Structures are given as C-alpha cells and as structure tokens.
Chains A and B, each alone.
Chain A
Amino acid sequence: MKQISKKVRFNWKIVIYLLLAVVLIYVLFPILWMIITSLKSEQEALLIPPTWFPKKITTFGFRYMWQMKPFLIYFKNSLLTAGPTAIFSTLFGGLAAYSVSRFRFPLRKFFMGFVLCTQMIPGVLLVGPYFKVLNKFQLYDTHLALILGYTAVALPFCTWMLKGYFDSIPRELDEATLVDGCTKFTAFFKVILPLSFPGIVATGVFSFLLAWGDLLWALCLTSSESMSTVTLGIANSVGEYRVVWPALMAAALIACVPSIVFYSFLQKYIVSGMTKGGVKG
C-alpha cells in the first residue's frame, strides 16, 4: 500500500517536471533569446539567418547602452516614480478595500463599479486632458505628475485585489479585537494588515511594475531628458534609422534588475504562509 502511493507520487512529479519544462520553454525562450542577442556584436545580431549562439561573446551591447544613455538618471527617475506609486496605491487602495470589505454602506457597489470604470477609458484619451490639469497646477515634467497618474491607474487594481484578500480573512478575527477594545481603524492595522501581507506585497509589486513599464504617460508628461524613465529611455533607442539590438536587449535586461531585486526581497512574504498559523479559530 505504501509502495503504491510512493509510485504514484513519483509519477506525479515527472508530470510536474514535464509540464514545467513546456511552460518554461515558452516563458524562457524569448528571454534566453534576449540574453543571447545582448551578447552579440551589432553586426552579428543582424545576420540573416540568425546565429543561434554568439560566435564571439562581447559586452558591446552593455557598454554601448551605458555610454550612450544616462542610465543612472533614468533609473533614479523610474525608482522615484515607481516606488512612491507602489506605496501610495497600495496604501490608498488598502484603505478603500478595507472600507468596502468590512463596512456596509449604500455607495459600496457604486464605488467598486466606479473604480473599475475609471480604467475603461484608454490611456490615449486620458493623457491629453490630464496634461491640461497638470498645467493648471504647474506639475508638468515632475515626478509627482507621474506618481499621481500611475497611482490613479494602479489604484483600481489595488482596491479590487486587496478587497479579495481582505474578504478571505474571517470576520470573527477583527470582531475579536473589537471586543478587546480596539477601534475598527486599529483592527485594520493589527489584524487585517499582517494577515493579508502577501496580498499587499503582491499588490505593491503590481503597482511598481505598472509604473516601471509604462511608456505613454512618461512620454507625454515629461519633456527633459533629466526626467526620462528607464522605459522611455529604452523606447527612445528603438530608432527609425537604427536599432542596435544587442544594446536594446541589454538595456531591457538591465531594466529588469531593480524589479527582480524588489520582488526577490519581498518574495518570502508572498510565499511564506506564516500568516495562516493563527487564523484558525
């Protein structure tokens, strides 16, 4: 009996690995191709038909990108917009989600619907009028303009996601703290926040990446090179007359590094499962 179950488990693992392999090829092949390309020389990257591996590995792409573009400034700008965006949208979204999740009030449905609706107008049409608003407040070409814009785009997603997470926390728990003499507001910080931490982190990662990867708003709402974000800087290097593929790929890969670091750092919170221990009543 024991042996059979072991066997079954063993086969299951093979299936998992096989599936994982297929998915990994689909997921990783383009990334692998980007890495390979980034290590080629400019001329080799353009060869027809393409070479599968670099004939001669070179760091040309990385050097070129670094020399041609003020990447440190780009990174600074991206961090200064994506970081606050992640914080603000998660915080504001969290508060709103808590309200919708734990209180019953007439505008509840309307608010959740409205929040989703704000996302339905394509960014193309938002960016023009928003520009006029920014002019009124003298915010054009500032980080704040981008932070506010991205927060508004990310907020609905954050609210919806966090509402889902908060709902999964049993209501008895925060009621218990209420009995202990806390206000609903402190219950939020003492119970809900720690318990839904994985969700909050996931939401933060989401908003961070949204702001990091955006092009249209950064393109239209900044003017000087000193305000340019990483994504905009990269988009600008897809020139009309020349695409330096190795450098473009190198830049795209480097642009991922902060996100990877950010995510790896937070990953343990997402997957730790530490939060569940105390929940069972």
Chain B
Amino acid sequence: MRFSLSDKLLAYLLLLPAALVLFFVLLFPMVSTLLTSFGIELNNFNFTFDNYVRLFKDPEFWNSFKNTLIFVPISVIGDLVLGLSVALLLNQKIKGRKFFRVLVLLPWMIPSVVTGATWRWMYNPISGIINSILLRVGLIEEPVLWLSSKSIALFSIIMANIWRGFPYVMLIMLTGLQSIDSDIYEAGTIDGVNSWQKFIYLTLPNLKKNIIVVLALTTVWEFRQIDLVKTMTGGGPGSLTEVLVSFVFKQYFEFFQFDYASAIAVIMSVLMLIISIPYIKGILAD
C-alpha cells in the first residue's frame, strides 16, 4: 500500500523535525535578544535605539570588532590549511595512519576550558614549558611573553585556537577525499601530471563543496569561540585580545548590561550574515 504525497509536501515534511527543534530552542531566545536590544521589555514596549547609538560610540566595541576581524579569518584559514594538509597526509598510504587519524583528533576531544588553561600555562614566561624548552635549546635568551606582548598576544591565542579547531576540518576533508574516485587519479598518473597539478586540477575541484561547507561552518564557529580567550587572557592585556563574543559575555555576565549585550550580539549576527551570504549561494549552486 503506497500513498503518494506531493513532492513539495514531502520536502516540507522532511524539514519539519529540524525546524521544530530549532524553533523550540532558539526562536524565543532570538526574538528576545532582538527585543532586548531595542530596550523592549514585557511590561514596557518603549522602543529605543540607545544601545545601538552607544555601541557605535564605544571604542571598546570597535576594538573588539577589529580584533574579531583578525581572529576569525586567520583562525578559519589556519584551520582550513592545516586541516586540509593533514587530511591529505593521512590519506596517503603511510604506516600507522589509522593511529595518527585518531591522534590528531585529540585536540578536538579535549574540553576547551582545559585547552585554554593548558596553553596559558605552557605560554607562561617562567613556569611554562615552551619558554623552558626554547631557553634550554638556546633559541631565545629571554623568555618570550607570549600572552603579554602587544604584537603577539592575539596570535598566541590563535595558535591555540587553530590547534583546537583544525581536527574538525580534517575530518570533513578526509571524508571528502575518500569520496573522490581513485580512477581519476589513475587517469592523471598516466597523463604524467605531477602531484601539485593533480592537487590543483583534480583534488581541489572535487573538494569544492566540502570546502564551502567547512568555510561557512568554521567562520560561524570561530565567531562564537569564547572559551580560549576567556581562559587564556580574559581579553587582556588591556583589551588587546578582546573579541566580540567575549565582549558580549563581559557586558552580560559581569556588567549586567543585558540590553547592550543583546545589541552587540545583533550587530555581530548581521556581520556574520553578510559574511556568509556567499557561502549560502555557494552551497545552493548546482
């Protein structure tokens, strides 16, 4: 017995479970954030742009905005490059690759609070292992102030962030590589192209969709990433490593500025939305 639903209806039905969960969990918070950012409360429908005006005048907001625009792209590109390279390496027929495939995923499995605490400790000028080794080997004469120098503090966090973020990219790339027909490569070998050309003309085009997905998701992901900044520097020294999401966190939990935090979050979402339009177009292009 088979009853035929119209395709369109089936299409919507398939979306239903996902949509329901998203609505249940996120609809109210999203609406509430938007309303709060305009100063609207349940018993008070007064509408104000004050929070947005304040935000545009707030140098700390612009500072964290700027830091986010450094933090996110470098992290995303780092994740992608490292993830793709490791996936390519582990796709080769080398000894122990199964073992390595598990090993390189470990950074992703460790709770990021611990990751932050551990990296902070490793970076410490006196009690940190990195300076200890570099000093002993003789690469440096004075301990490097990884998290306290104006020029490198943010990059030190990015290093830890890429460490944490790349395994996920690697996993997606690995599955992408697995689905490329080995026949294509064999055809390539016969034609006498070198490995680099193979990578550019055969591998990359086949990974295009995966790369778009990864770029879209890691971009959003890195925007939301807060644990490392929070545990490693708390945004310091001064506000050198303050990013938008840690700024929101601070306004909300430390300063009790719920409406202001919401306004920043809304701006942040708009920013992310603009950035991700090409991705959305890319993934839906046939």
Contacts and interface: CB of A to CB of B under 8 A. Distances in A.
Q: Do A and B have CB atoms closer than 8 angstroms in the complex?
A: yes
Interface stretch (A54-62, A65-73, A90-98): A90-98
B28 interface: yes
B13 to A, nearest CB: 8
A263 B127 contact: no
Contacts of A47: 127
A1 to B, nearest CB: 11
A142 interface: no
Contacts of B202: none
Interface string B170-197: 0110110011011100000000000100
Nearest to A272: B178
A121 B269 contact: yes
Given A111-B15, A133-B28, A167-B209, A124 B248 contact: yes
Contacts of A95: 14-15, 17-18
Contacts of B212: 164
Report the interface size class on chain A. Answer: 35 or more
Interface stretch (B4-12, B46-54, B146-154, B232-240): B4-12
A10 interface: no
Contacts of B101: 267, 271
Interface in A91-117: 91-93, 95-96, 98-100, 103, 105, 107-109, 111-113, 115-117
Contact of B113 (A91, A167, A235): A235
A24 B133 CA distance: 17
A112 B172 contact: no
B265 A209 contact: no
Contact of B171 (A128, A152, A155, A270): A270
B268 interface: yes
B70 interface: no
Contacts of A111: 15, 19
Given A33-B122, A109-B280, A116-B280, A206 B171 contact: yes
Contacts of A12: 195
A231 B126 contact: no
Interface of A is mostly: helix
Contacts of B126: 48-49
A261 to B, nearest CB: 10
A66 to B, nearest CB: 17
Contacts of B262: 125
10 contacts: A23-B85, A23-B89, A109-B284, A116-B220, A124-B249, A126-B26, A130-B25, A206-B168, A213-B110, A243-B117
Interface of A: 12-13, 16-17, 19-20, 23-24, 26-28, 30-31, 33-34, 46-50, 52, 88, 91-93, 95-96, 98-100, 103, 105, 107-109, 111-113, 115-130, 132-133, 148-149, 151-152, 155-157, 159-161, 163-165, 167-168, 183-185, 198-199, 202, 205-206, 209, 212-213, 215, 230-231, 234-235, 238, 243, 245, 248-249, 252, 255-256, 259-260, 263-264, 267, 270-273, 275-276, 280
